[in-house]
Amino acid sequence: MPVLPLHPLIVHAPVTLLILSLFFELAGRALDADWWRRAAFALLVMGALGAAAAVVTGTAAGAAAEKQGVAEQPIDRHENAGKLTLALAVAAVVVRAVAARSGGSRGPVSTVALVLQLAAAIMVGVTGYRGGRLVFEHGAGVSVRGAHVASDHPPQARDADRD
């Protein structure tokens, strides 16, 4: 019995939330408006949770793509980028929480949190790009009339494919 592919349903949440949280944080700093920064933190937390869900569901999606004939290397690059995104997002949440507790909304700890948040936003874009390539160039998860489409890249070209 086919399983509902949750990964493509979930991945849009961390992409949107992590990038939007960065914009809210920057707006809060520029306008010196605390509510923007509180909203940014809420978006960051939700983005980190979404990234965790994307990583968990991505494991099954990666296994299905390999069974479909997609080369392991681009799947692994996408998976590793997703795990790095998750780590950066969680680190940004933790450091941002420490900065808030210490009362230093503009101190060095807050700056580290902002750098981590920026890195998470960049990495979620890289991860999304790699996931898009898996679908549109390798046919990962693509079905026609209920049957998975085999990847049309020869194994050598798929393995040598670089981002």
pLDDT tens sequence across 48-95: 999 999 999 999 999 889 988 888 999 999 999 999 999 999 999 999
DSSP 8-state assignment for residue 143: E
Work out the angle at residue 43's Cα, subtended by the Cα atoms of residues 22 and 5, and round it to the nearest 5 degrees: 110
For the chain, the residue count is: 163
pLDDT tens for 100-147 read 888 766 688 999 999 999 999 999 999 999 999 999 888 887 877 766
Full-model pTM: 0.86
Parallel, antiparallel or unpaired: strands 143-144 and 147-148 = antiparallel
